[in-house]
Amino acid sequence: MSGEPAADGDAAPQIWVDADACPAPVKEILFRAAERVPVRVTLVANQFLRTPASRRVRAIQVPGGFDAADAEIERRVRAGDLVVTQDIPLAAAVIAKGALALHPRGELHTAETIAQRLSMRNFLDELRGAGVDTGGPAAFHPRDRQAFANSLDRWLARLGRPPR
Q: Which domains does the chain have, with CATH numbers?
A: 14-128+143-159 (3.40.50)
Cβ neighbours for 86, distance < 8 A, ≥ 6 positions apart: 18, 21, 22, 103, 104, 137
Apex 16 CA angle, 122 and 40, nearest 5 = 165
pTM, full prediction = 0.82
Q: What is the pLDDT of residues 67-115, one digit of tens each?
A: 899 999 999 999 999 999 999 999 999 999 999 999 999 999 988 887 7
Q: Which residue has the higher pLDDT, 122 or 145?
A: 145
Strand partners for 42: 16, 58
Q: What is the b/e burial string over 52-65, where b = at least 16 CB atoms within 10 angstroms of the residue's CB?
A: eeeebbbbbbbeee
